[in-house]
Amino acid sequence: MKVGMISLGCDKNRIDSENMLFTLANAGFEIVQDKNEAEIIIINTCAFIELAKIETIDTIFEMAKLKENNLKYLVVTGCFANRYGSNIELPEVDLWISIDNEKDVVKLLHNLTNTQYEKQEENEYEFTGRILTTPNHYAYLKISDGCDKRCSYCAIPNIRGKYISRPMAVIIEEAKYLIGQGVKEIILVAQDTSSYGKDLYGKNKLVELLEELVLLDVWKIRLLYVYPEEISDRLIDFVGKEEKMAKYFDMPLQHINDSILTKMNRKSSREKIENIISKIRNTNSDIAIRSTFIVGFPYETHLEHTQLVDFVTDKLDYAGFFEFSKEEGTPAYNFPDGIDKKTCELWRIECEEAQCNSTIEHHQKYINKVVEVIYEDIDYDKQMFVGRTEQNAPEIDTNVFFTSAFPLEIGQIYKVLITKTDFNMYGNTVL
How does pLDDT run across 360-392, given as a tens digit for each residue?
A: 999 999 999 999 999 999 999 999 999 999 999
Identity of the residue numbered 78: G
Q: What is the pLDDT of residues 287-341, one digit of tens each?
A: 999 999 999 999 999 999 999 999 999 899 999 999 999 999 999 999 998 789 9
Per-residue pLDDT band for 122 (boundaries 50, 70, 90) equals low
Number of neighbours of residue 409 by Cβ within 10 angstroms: 8
Q: Which CATH architecture has domain 2-113?
A: 3-Layer(aba) Sandwich (3.40)
Angle ∠(408,178,144) on CA atoms, nearest 5: 130
Per-residue pLDDT band for 120 (boundaries 50, 70, 90) equals low
Per-residue pLDDT band for 121 (boundaries 50, 70, 90) equals low
Task: Please tell me the distance from the alpha carbon of residue 91 to that of residue 103, in angstroms, as a whole number.
Answer: 24
Residue 124 has pLDDT above 80, yes or no: no
Alpha-carbon distance values, 245 to 32, 41, 116, 248 (Å):
35, 38, 47, 8
Task: Please tell me the distance from the alpha carbon of residue 102 to that of residue 190, in angstroms, as a whole number.
Answer: 18
CATH topology for 367-429?
OB fold (Dihydrolipoamide Acetyltransferase, E2P) (2.40.50)
Q: Would you say the CATH fold of 138-362 matches that of 2-113?
A: no
Give pLDDT, residue 86.
73
Per-residue pLDDT band for 88 (boundaries 50, 70, 90) equals confident
Which residues touch 265 (CB under 8 Å, ≥6 apart)? 149, 150, 151, 152, 331
Give pLDDT, residue 126.
65
- Whether domain 138-362 has CATH 3.80.30.20: the reply is yes
| Mean pLDDT, all residues of the chain | 94
Residue 118 has pLDDT above 80, yes or no: no
> Could you tell me the residue ranges of all domains in the chain?
2-113, 138-362, 367-429
